[in-house]
Structures are given as structure tokens and as C-alpha cells.
Chains A and B, each alone.
Chain A
Amino acid sequence: MKKVQRVEALFELLRVVLGLVIAYIITLVLIILTSDVTPQEVITNFVLGPFTTPRRFGQLMGKFIPYVLGGCGMCFIYGCGRFNLVGEGIVNFAPAVACIVLFNTPIFNHVPWIVGVGILLIICCAVGGGLAMIPAIGREKLKISEMVTSIIMNYMLLYLSLWFLKSLFADRSQAFLCSPMYPENGSFFQLIPGTNLHAGIFVSIIGWILACLMFDRMRIGVKLRICGSNGMFAKYSGLNTTKIVLIGQLIGGIYAGAAACVDAFGMYTRYQYSVLTNIGMDALVVAVIARKKPIYVPLAAFVLAYIRTSAVVLNLSTNIPIEFVNMMQAVLILFVAAQHFLQKSKEKAIYKISMEESKEKGAVV
């Protein structure tokens, strides 16, 4: 049986890696076939692009930072068996609320950086957690699909945050809709000047460690996993499933809020979201690639950030649109999420070792 477990683990890994490779090859081939760009150019820009300059690598890290936090959050939501996608709206809305405090109150006038950033983070997390509870409570108390509610909420939150921006803290001296520049104590500084690698990465690292601890070592994590794995069993064991599922989504919302905070106050110098950022949806992708385990989230987040940055680099240096690369992401997810991909080969491998094992046993007897 031990061997079988190893085969299962191996195929799990193989599925992700192979899915990635296949998706990558399909995209490369299609790009080369359909555009007048030479294969060499594609390779340098698309494959190696993100690593060619510090600026580009910084860009990758800038995406990586919120992906880690969002991905950890989605592990909790997805892990307790709910599809609450409100993270998308939280990314727009939570920083907007924080901006009101930042620009419309005197709190930030004389506080040191660490306190200022701390306040921003707390506000964003609180808003995120609170918002995530709306679809969650709807589901648990009123049996409304949390997925539908959360997707509708995303658009509401986008327009609400735009309204806040326009009516409360827009910088009218600018040609586009944005807030005034963030003060120094209200933003994450760049770790390497001139790149997007900013201090938010510390939040991500702490958040990730905390998520791993919560998921594997804390009571709530075990309870959550039991609820997600078999709700009836959880109920039978005396767990308060409603409460646990709500807490799971609360944690997910808090993480989405943190992701929003590091993105809005780390990547940009002003609040300037005017469309949905897709970070919330990408967080789900990260959680799916990480197989709902926070421990794998940084890896998954890096892969996704890499693909996304490659697309941008390719787009800037050739005439290939970004959307083309989104296709690759779709293929990747298709393979990773497909339960039956490689199923036949896995069964064959298991069949083989079982036969061998039974032969060995036969020899012993």
C-alpha cells in the first residue's frame, strides 16, 4: 500500500507539471504559427522575458505578492467547500475605504511608517472579512448560492469604490481618475528602487506562514478541512459546521483584504483602480494549482505571476496581445483541475505494482 501512496503523490505532481508543460507548448506553437514573430524572439521574450531585467523581475514579484495572500485566503474558502468569489470586489473596495481614512481624516498626519501601514492593513482586512461574510451568511442562513451573490457583489463593489473615489478623495488636478499621491507612511516602499518589488512581500511571507500554521496545526484548520471533506461527518462529530464554514470565509476575506492592501499601496503611488483587477479570480487559480494546500501557494503564485508577466513582456516587445496568453492559463487550469487527466496511466501503474506486490507475497507464503 505504501507504494500505491507514492504513485498517487507522483501522479498528483506529474499532473500539474505536465499540464503546465502542455499548456506552455500549445501557447508557444500557436504564437509562432499565427504571428510573424520569429521563434527566437518568442522564446527570449516569453520564456526568459521576466528574468532579463531587474525591472521585469520586479514586475513579476509585484504580481506574486498579492497572489500569495489571495491564494492562501482562497485555500480557506475553497477548503471548507464554498465558492465565495468576493475577493475580486474586495481588492477594489477595501483600499478605497482605507483611502478615505488616509485622505479624509487627520490620522496619518504624524504617525510613523509602521503604524501607518499597519492601520491600512487592519482597515483592508476588516473590510475584506466583513464583505466576505455577506455571501457567506446568505448561504448558511438563507441558502442563496454564495457564488452568485459574490459575483454580483463584485460589480457593486467596483462601482461603489469608484463613487467613493469620485466623491471623496479624487485628485482633480490629474488627467485621469485617481487619488492624490499616497504619503510615505501610507504606502509600501520599494525594496529595490525602480522595481515593483515592495515591502508588501513581508506581509505576504508572514501571511503565508500564518496560513500554513492555521491550516495544519491549529484547531480551526483541522475543523475546516473536516467540514470541507465531509460536512455530514463534521456534524456527526459535534462540530458546529455553520460557524466553521463562516469562519473559513471570514479568514478568506481577511486575506483578500490583505492582498488588496499590498497591491493598492505597494504597486501604485495613487489609488487608480477603475476596473476589476482580476486578482481575486487569480487567487482562485492559485489555490487550485496549489491543490488547496497553503504550503504550495507560493509556488503556485510564482508560476501564475510568471505566466502573467511573460504575457506583458511579450505584448510590449512584439505585436502579440495579452489575451493570447490568457488562453494558456485556461489550458493550464483545464489540466490541473481535470481529475481524470492521466487517470488511465495511474491505474495502470497501480495495477502493475499491485500485481508485483501480490507476487512477492505469494513467494513469501
Chain B
Amino acid sequence: MAKELLKMEGITKIYGNGFMANKDITFTVNEGEIHALLGENGAGKTTLMKILFGLENCQQGKIYLNGQEAHIENPLDAIAKGVGMVHQHFMLVPNLSVAENVVLGIEPGPGQIFDKKTAVRMTEEASEKFQLKVDPNALVRDISVGLKQKVELLKALIRGVKVLILDEPTAVLTPQEVRELFVQLKTLRENGYGIIFISHKLDEVMELCDSATILRHGRVTGFVKKEEMNEIVLSKLIVGRDVVSTMEKKESTAGDTVLKVRNVTYVDDIGKKLVDDVSFGVRAGEIVGIAGVEGNGQNEISEIITGLLHMTKGTVSINGKETTGLNISQIRKLGLAHISEDRMTYGCAQDMSIYDNLSSIYLDNPKFTKGVFVNQKALNQYVKDCIEEFEIACDSEKSPIRMLSGGNIQKVIVAREFTSGANIIIANQPTRGIDVGTASLIHRLLQKYTREKGFAVLLISSDLNEVMNLSDRLLIMRDGKIAAQFTDMKKVNDELMGEYMLGIKKMTEEERGDLH
């Protein structure tokens, strides 16, 4: 039997708001094994890994490394004891070179002097040894996401860790990059490393992993060996019910173009052109998806349309009116609603009540105000309706929103934006990091509002399945430009999308067709 590298036993963690993130979890990783940790968002995977990496402490439970009980105090301690983590959002310093990032904290050199040559050599040696090709002298700012991930891996490996935690490593990668990553991970497995692989993508898990532990509501619901793995078994364990993955889509009956983006260019503070002369439109009654590797201008487009960011050049018009010179409140009044990608920063005020969070955009709306006062009666009714219609699970509308789960917070935001009276919705990563149940509710709502009420939806997402399933028309962004448009969604698959996202292929203007 393979040697047991890591064992977590009886881990229980309850957060300060009373949320039980982990309950009595037992979990082992052997030498030379890739072990998947599966579960919906909020199932407790990340918390469990944070405990292992010393970012959180737990109330109960023990951790054994190489058969010995270990107390992990903080991440430095974890690394010293052989546990490394590659975070979902990279922890790299953009303005330093690859080599400098790799040796950060273990800088070579006599005394306080930094020996850059040795650092580069160390990086080169490690990159050779682990088959992770990187350019040690390149600035992290300039390299691609896939390379950044390699740098993260090197950072952990050069410190001599034996257990590697990868938190959704493929979420930001294109299909081609994913394949490369898998080859590297398999090499590491052969060299005896223990890898914990957190992912939502079942096909990846089945391809790569030797075994899987599945969590639901903070508890272990199953342990599956490679031989027994199949999509039905896994998804049942993850959500506790069978999931219908394909969605029935009614034909779209697109009307007038209500959102027009024309020749929009955005240059950032350091002179980088993030959005380059982009023009497109969204018609009433259709969902237009934008896909692309993160950081190719999608986010900027959404912020420009919603008025959070000022474009360098170009125009945006909403329901026939140009937004140039208008503030966010005026833009909203033209008929725009916005589900932001970062719900905790833009979407809500954590310490305020559900009630206050729902009312934030109505404070100047005559329907909900009486002179200088808030119309309590109307708002109470509205809040009650929202909680009912959008199935928000809460004790009371007066409890702070931070007490809710991620999915329910998103429901509050969606409720507010959908009912704001707008007819154009910018949905930027509307289901990122939330559970399958809420995600499908949001998908259904997007469908319903476009088909029945003639909403125009611009859907920006890095979840390729989501954009493929929902969109009536799909745009792909690459380097701040629209690289492709697909109008027939039946002809699209992730392989093809990947090629355009990576810039292997590019459509000519004729191929792209009318962008509206």
C-alpha cells in the first residue's frame, strides 16, 4: 500500500457567524496520488484547505503529516512542514521577475544582499527538474495566466513541499493550457508527490485523479476510487440529487438593438490598451455571451457600460441614449441593471441588513420615498416580495447580509437588479463561486426575463458551459478585441472556443458577421 502522506481527522470548523463550514471531516492523501476534493461552493472545500495551510484554525480535529501529528500555525509553518498551496487567485508580485517571485522569502545571497544570478539559476534548475518551462527574467506582469500558474507551482516546489494543494487551477486556463498542466501534474505524481486537486469540472477530475473525496454542507458524503468514478455517481454525491445539465432553450426572437457599444477603447494608467476599438450590440430578447481568458478586456467592457470606468474613446448608448457624461445613477435610470463580478466589493454592503442591501438603488425612486423619508411600507412589501420570489433563505430581512451563504447573497443582488425596472442586464460572472442550485435558478431567471419580458442580457463569464448553454450569440474576446462571433450555438464546442481564446485562430470581419 502506498505511504500515507497526509491525514486530516475529525476536522470541525465553525465560523464566527455560526456557519458550520466543516463537520467531522476525515481525509487522506497518499504518496504519488492525485486526490480530488469535490463539492459545491460553500461545501467547505476551501475552508478545509485553509485549515491545512494554516490560514484558519479549527475547533476540533487533528492533522497528521507522514504519520506524525502536526500543528500548523500559519502558512510559513505549513510550507516548512511540506504543504504548499496554489491559490485560485495567484499570489504573485506583478512588478517582480519570475525568478524574484520564485525565491521570494528564501532569497539567496550573502546577508542582506540579493544575489539575482543565483536566483535565476535556482529558478532555471527547478524549472528543468520539474519540467515547468518559464523565463526567469520575464516580469510576472507580462506573462500569461498559464505561465503564472507554473510560477506558483515552482514557488511551492522549490521550497521542498511534498503535498500540493491546487485550488481550482483550471478555472482560469484555456483547454490547451489545461492539458499541459495535467501532463505536469502527472509527472509530479510519478515523482511521489501528493496532490490535492479542487475542481468543479467532473471530466477533468475523472481524467486526472486517482480518488476523490466529496463534501456537501461541510460533511464528507463520499469517497470514490478511480475505477468507480463516473459523472452520475459524482454529481449525485456533490448535489445530493441528479442534475440535468442541458437546459431547454426556446428560440430567441430578438428585437431592436437596445445596448450599443461603438468603437470603445480603454487605455489604463500604465498605457496598456485593454479594450481596443470594440463595437457590438445587444438586442432586446437575446442573451449575448462574452467569453475569453480572464484579463482580455471583458471586465473593462462591463465596467465601461455600467459607468464604473470611463472609456478613453468611443460611445455607449442605452435604449437609444448615449451615456457619455452621465453618472451611474443616470445610467441606471436609462434602463441598465448590473450584476457585478465581485459581489462582496460591489454587490453588497456586508454589515448592512438584507433590507438595506435591497433598497440601495431605490433611495431616489419616487415609488419608495416620501419626500426626504424612505417609504417604509412600500419597501417592506418589496423586500418581502423579493425574498419570496427569489427564494432567499434568511431568518429575517433585518439580519446582516454577511450571515447568508454566497448563493443567497447572490440571490439578493439578482433580486434587486432584476426588479429594478431595467430592461438591459449586464451579468458579469453571475454564478461564479456559488452553488449549483442557485446557479441554475439564476440561469432560469435570465432565460425567463429575456424570453418573456424581452430583456437584453450581456453575459460575461469564464464558465464556458454557462456561456455556451445560455447565449443566443457568443462573442470571444482576445487582447481587448472581439476575435470571433458565433451565431449558431450548436456549432460551438469548448475546443473551438479555446482556439479563438488563445489566439490560434482569428475570424475576419466577414466571418464574424453583423455584431449589431
B-binding residues in A (CB < 8 A): 1-5, 7, 217-220, 222-223, 225-226, 229-230, 232-240, 343, 346-347, 350-351, 353-355, 358
Contact = CB atoms under 8 A, between A and B. Distances in A.
B23 interface: yes
Interface string B14-25: 101111100100
B359 A222 contact: yes
B356 to A, nearest CB: 6
Contacts of B374: 217-219, 222
Given A225-B356, A354-B14, A236 B395 contact: no
A354 B306 CA distance: 41
Interface string B369-411: 1001110100000000000000000111001000100000000
A234 B360 contact: yes
Contact of A225 (B20, B346, B352, B394): B352
A35 B348 CA distance: 55
A2 B328 contact: no
Contact of B328 (A3, A235, A353): A235
B364 A232 contact: no
B23 A351 contact: no
A233 B347 contact: yes
B372 to A, nearest CB: 5
Nearest to A350: B18
Contacts of B462: none
17 contacts: A1-B403, A3-B18, A4-B17, A5-B399, A218-B372, A218-B373, A218-B374, A219-B364, A222-B374, A225-B352, A226-B349, A234-B349, A238-B329, A238-B331, A240-B327, A350-B14, A353-B18
Contact of B403 (A5, A238, A343, A354): A5
Interface string B72-99: 0000000000000000000000000000
A181 to B, nearest CB: 40
Given A4-B17, A222-B363, A236 B349 contact: no
Interface of B: 14, 16-20, 23, 59, 306, 308, 327-332, 338, 340, 345-352, 356, 359-361, 363-364, 369, 372-374, 376, 394-396, 399, 403
Nearest to A348: B59
A347 B396 CA distance: 22
A236 B20 contact: no
B21 to A, nearest CB: 10
A232 B356 contact: no
A230 B330 CA distance: 20
A226 B18 CA distance: 25
A218 B331 CA distance: 24
B356 A5 contact: no
A5 B395 contact: yes
B328 A238 contact: yes
Given A223-B363, A236-B346, A351-B59, 12 more contacts: A1-B395, A1-B403, A219-B373, A229-B352, A232-B346, A233-B347, A233-B348, A234-B360, A235-B346, A238-B361, A239-B329, A351-B14
